[in-house]
């Protein structure tokens, strides 16, 4: 019997397909052929992973000896022996060389064979050893594919990925054609995997309670990322309904795309810059084809998540330059690494913390690893010789941090001058306004920053004390909260008083209900996932700036989220024309007979 479940609409669109269940702790093993000249590097990568796994086990062993004594730690001695076992080590290296395949695949095969043989043994002791082999197998595979359960790119046919949660590294490298949709138990609209799904145009529903227990791999699942509904084992009638919605959605997108080459200008002639947020170089094409005027945010860390090391200057220079040349004459705002928070596991190692979003993240990591920071700044500066580039620092909380970051930037500039390498001496340097403390002192920061871009994803989580990835408190994550509107207004006004350009790169800029309020407040730019640009452009082209100002004034006078929402709805009504009738919700009208949302289960 079909079952309807509801969650958070994390990325719009519809999909029907086979579910692929990704359990916590499960490791997907990528299989890849190697070029002959990659083989020896792959052997070294395997040896390094073994060494790190060895270090991990030794640490663990010591810890347990301390707390439980030698006996308790005996098992780790066995694990160390497996890690050094000739059959394991040498056979894997031989396998990499002979079959020219990646270490993950070869090592996994060997370990699985050993596990199968042992589990068949009649001897209880030997059968138990299979568990140890499995433990070591997982440990080494995690070292080979840091940041998660391997990458989703080895999926062989298109599926709907269902998981408790997805890490940014897992979503960063998926092939859009292979994933029809995501459904997760955790997460919210602005968690990084949701942002990634939107960037890739993959529908997603987050916060679906216990979905991994309610579906098996291979079962049919239908996903509505526009309203946040999921149907498990849909019957024929429901499948037809979802397919029809999918067709309507595609038609709406086609209609909106007709605006692609038209300017984002209000009926009374006020132009607003509309640009795109991207995470990967491949997304530039989508940004341009959706009519973006430049890149308002390049989240550089995504280029390198899911690998063992951060790239050096040359690799970054090549990547950034490629993007800059494609986007010129429009500009690219390159953000320095925002590692930490929910983007852990790469080098420099950002450890799991109790309060990751309040911890060692973004500019804090960069300032602590100045050698890594300096390389990135040199690469960005060098890319600025190839087209308009602006640099932006994430998570600035006060003037000291901005000054320290600029000091490293000056070092980078001096180094390049010494090396005779060209760069744009006038490259603007801005800051993300995403910490309430920074917003409160916009007037001061604006004297030393060339431009400001409001990062509402973090600003909302910090202002309202709502973890952006926590489905349980997602109902409190409110873009139209009066406190958020006031802060945004304060930043725009103070920035403008100092002659600064003020943009917004948080997801709020893609909320059609917020568009008139934001442009009415005088924001210079809105930057968002490429696929969402046409809808926002449609709102801008359907109103006058005077109307938007009236909408913003009224909204700012409201005491409650409800009040602001009512004002926004009244002003925005009809602005999306015939295309979307229910602004901001876009909820599909489910046939009454199918509105059998399993209340008891949904509330579990």
**What's the full length of the chain, in residues?**
604
Residue with smaller CB distance to ligand PEP, 83 or 298: 298
Window 455-484: residues binding Mg ion (CB under 5 A): 455, 458
Residue 291 binding: pick among ligand PEP, Mg ion, none (C-beta 5-8 Å cut-off by kind): none
Residue 93 binding: pick among ligand PEP, Mg ion, none (C-beta 5-8 Å cut-off by kind): none
Distance CA 335, CA 343 (A): 15
Residue 30 binding: pick among ligand PEP, Mg ion, none (C-beta 5-8 Å cut-off by kind): none
E strands, 236-380, are: 273-278, 295-299, 332-335
Q: How far is the CB of 523 from Mg ion (least distance, A)?
A: 17
Residue with smaller CB distance to Mg ion, 224 or 458: 458
Q: How far is the CB of 333 from ligand PEP (least distance, A)?
A: 11
Residue 187 binds to ligand PEP (criterion: CB under 6 A): no
Residue 434 binds to ligand PEP (criterion: CB under 6 A): yes
* Whether the Cβ atoms of residue 588 and residue 229 lie closer than 8 Å to each other: yes
Residue 299 binding: pick among ligand PEP, Mg ion, none (C-beta 5-8 Å cut-off by kind): ligand PEP
Distance CA 19, CA 320 (A): 36
Out of 173, 192, 290, 481, the active site residue is: 192
DSSP state string for 163-215: ES---HHHHHT--GGGEEEEEESS--TTSHHHHHHHHHT--EEE--TTHHHH-
Considering CB under 5 A, how many residues would be counted as binding Mg ion?
Answer: 3
Residue 148 binding: pick among Mg ion, ligand PEP, none (C-beta 5-8 Å cut-off by kind): none
Residue with smaller CB distance to Mg ion, 434 or 535: 434
Distance CA 533, CA 199 (A): 11
Q: Which of 30, 185, 224, 338 binds ligand PEP (CB under 6 A)?
A: 338
Out of 505, 543, 545, 551, the active site residue is: 505
Window 436-455: residues binding ligand PEP (CB under 6 A): 455
Residue with smaller CB distance to ligand PEP, 42 or 458: 458
Residue with smaller CB distance to ligand PEP, 150 or 356: 356
Q: How far is the CB of 362 from Mg ion (least distance, A)?
A: 7
- Cα–Cα distances in angstroms (integers) from residue 542 to residues 212, 268, 532, 535, 587, in the given order: 43, 10, 16, 11, 22
Residue 256 binding: pick among ligand PEP, Mg ion, none (C-beta 5-8 Å cut-off by kind): none
Residue 456 binds to ligand PEP (criterion: CB under 6 A): yes
Residue with smaller CB distance to ligand PEP, 43 or 186: 186
Q: How far is the CB of 528 from ligand PEP (least distance, A)?
A: 10
Distance CA 351, CA 342 (A): 10
* Whether the Cβ atoms of residue 505 and residue 533 lie closer than 8 Å to each other: no
Residue 11 binding: pick among ligand PEP, Mg ion, none (C-beta 5-8 Å cut-off by kind): none
Q: Which of 273, 283, 458, 479 binds ligand PEP (CB under 6 A)?
A: 458
3-class secondary-structure state, position 378 = helix
Q: How far is the CB of 458 from Mg ion (least distance, A)?
A: 4
Window 223-252: residues binding Mg ion (CB under 5 A): none
Q: How far is the CB of 439 from Mg ion (least distance, A)?
A: 13
Considering CB under 6 A, how many residues would be counted as binding ligand PEP?
Answer: 11
Residue 506 binding: pick among Mg ion, ligand PEP, none (C-beta 5-8 Å cut-off by kind): ligand PEP
Between vectors from CA 19 to CA 164 and to CA 591, what angle results, nearest 5°? 100
Phi first, then psi: give them for residue 231, nearest 5 degrees. -115, 120
**Residues in contact with 566: Cβ distance below 8 Å, sequence separation at least 6, in sequence order:** 558
Task: Produce one character per residue of 259-282: b if its CB has 16 or more CB atoms within 10 Å, e if not.
Answer: beeeebebeeebebbbbbbbbbee
The stretch among 258-266, 275-283, 296-304, 447-455 that binds Mg ion (CB under 5 A) is 447-455
Distance CA 53, CA 144 (A): 10
Residue 299 binds to ligand PEP (criterion: CB under 6 A): yes
Residue 434 binds to Mg ion (criterion: CB under 5 A): yes
Residue with smaller CB distance to ligand PEP, 299 or 378: 299
Distance CA 224, CA 85 (A): 50
* Whether the Cβ atoms of residue 174 and residue 182 lie closer than 8 Å to each other: no
**Residues in contact with 482: Cβ distance below 8 Å, sequence separation at least 6, in sequence order:** 556, 558, 559, 560, 561, 563, 564
Q: How far is the CB of 513 from ligand PEP (least distance, A)?
A: 17
DSSP state string for 537-551: HHHHHTS-HHHHHHH
Residue with smaller CB distance to ligand PEP, 434 or 535: 434
Between vectors from CA 440 to CA 439 and to CA 446, what angle results, nearest 5°? 60
Catalytic residue check, 505 = yes
- Cα–Cα distances in angstroms (integers) from residue 483 to residues 21, 463, 477, 479, 488, in the given order: 39, 8, 12, 9, 9
Q: Across the strands, what pairs with 454?
A: 433, 504
The stretch among 84-92, 275-283, 401-409, 454-462 that binds Mg ion (CB under 5 A) is 454-462
Window 499-528: residues binding ligand PEP (CB under 6 A): 505-506
Catalytic residue check, 386 = no
Residue with smaller CB distance to ligand PEP, 102 or 457: 457
Residues noted as catalytic: 192, 505
Give the interface with Mg ion as residue ranges (CB under 5 A): 434, 455, 458
Give the interface with ligand PEP as residue ranges (CB under 6 A): 195, 297, 299, 338, 434, 455-458, 505-506
């Amino acid at each position: 019997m079909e079952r309807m479940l509801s969650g958070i609409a994390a990325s719009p669109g519809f999909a029907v397909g086979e579910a692929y269940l990704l359990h916590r702790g499960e490791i997907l093993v990528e299989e890849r052929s190697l070029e002959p000249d990659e083989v020896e590097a792959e052997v070294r990568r395997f040896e390094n992973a073994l060494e790190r796994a060895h270090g991990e086990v030794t640490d663990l062993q010591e810890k347990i000896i301390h707390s439980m004594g030698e006996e308790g730690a005996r098992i780790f001695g066995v694990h160390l022996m497996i890690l050094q076992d000739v059959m394991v080590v040498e056979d894997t290296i031989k396998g990499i060389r002979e079959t020219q395949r990646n270490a993950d695949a070869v090592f996994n095969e060997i370990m699985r064979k050993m596990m199968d043989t042992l589990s068949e043994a009649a001897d209880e002791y030997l059968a138990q050893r299979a568990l140890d082999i499995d433990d070591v197998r997982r440990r080494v595979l995690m070292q080979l594919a840091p940041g998660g359960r391997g990458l989703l790119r080895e999926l062989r046919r298109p599926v709907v990925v269902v998981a408790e949660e997805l890490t940014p590294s897992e979503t960063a490298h998926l092939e859009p054609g292979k994933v029809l949709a995501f459904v997760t138990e955790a997460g919210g609209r602005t968690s990084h995997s949701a942002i990634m799904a939107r960037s890739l145009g993959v529908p997603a529903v987050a916060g679906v309670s216990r979905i991994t227990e309610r579906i098996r791999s291979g079962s049919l699942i239908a996903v509505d990322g526009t309203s946040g509904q999921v149907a498990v084992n849909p019957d024929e009638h429901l499948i037809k309904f979802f397919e029809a919605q999918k067709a309507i959605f595609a038609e709406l997108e086609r209609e909106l795309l007709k605006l692609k080459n038209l300017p984002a200008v209000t009926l009374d002639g006020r132009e607003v810059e509309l640009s795109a947020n991207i995470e990967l170089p491949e997304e530039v094409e989508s940004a341009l084809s959706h009519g973006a005027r430049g890149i308002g945010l390049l989240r550089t860390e995504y280029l390198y998540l899911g690998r063992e090391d951060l790239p050096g200057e040359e690799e970054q220079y090549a990547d950034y330059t490629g993007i800059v040349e494609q986007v010129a004459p429009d500009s690219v705002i390159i953000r320095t690494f925002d590692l930490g928070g929910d983007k852990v596991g790469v080098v420099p190692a950002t450890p799991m913390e109790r309060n990751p979003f309040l911890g060692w993240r973004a500019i804090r990591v960069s300032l602590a690893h100045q050698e890594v920071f300096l390389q990135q700044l040199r690469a960005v500066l060098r890319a600025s010789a190839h087209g308009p580039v602006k640099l932006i620092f994430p998570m600035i909380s006060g003037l000291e941090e901005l000054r320290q970051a600029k000091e490293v930037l000056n070092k980078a500039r001096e180094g390049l001058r010494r090396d005779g390498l060209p760069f744009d001496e006038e490259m603007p340097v801005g800051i993300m306004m995403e910490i309430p403390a920074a917003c409160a002192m916009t007037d001061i920061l604006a004297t030393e920053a060339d431009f400001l871009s409001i990062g509402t994803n973090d600003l909302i989580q910090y202002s309202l004390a709502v973890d952006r990835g926590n489905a349980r408190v997602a109902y409190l994550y409110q873009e139209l909260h009066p406190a958020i509107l006031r802060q945004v207004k304060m930043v725009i006004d103070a920035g403008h008083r100092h002659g600064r350009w003020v943009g917004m790169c948080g997801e709020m800029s893609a909320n059609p209900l917020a568009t008139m309020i934001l442009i009415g407040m005088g924001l210079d730019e809105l930057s968002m996932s490429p696929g969402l640009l046409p809808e926002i452009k449609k709102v801008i082209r359907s109103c006058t700036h005077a109307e938007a100002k009236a909408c913003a004034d009224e909204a700012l006078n409201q005491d409650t989220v409800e009040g602001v929402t009512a004002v926004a709805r009244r002003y925005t009504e009809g602005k999306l024309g015939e295309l979307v009738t229910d602004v901001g919700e876009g909820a599909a009208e489910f046939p009454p007979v199918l509105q059998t949302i399993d209340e008891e289960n949904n509330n579990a």
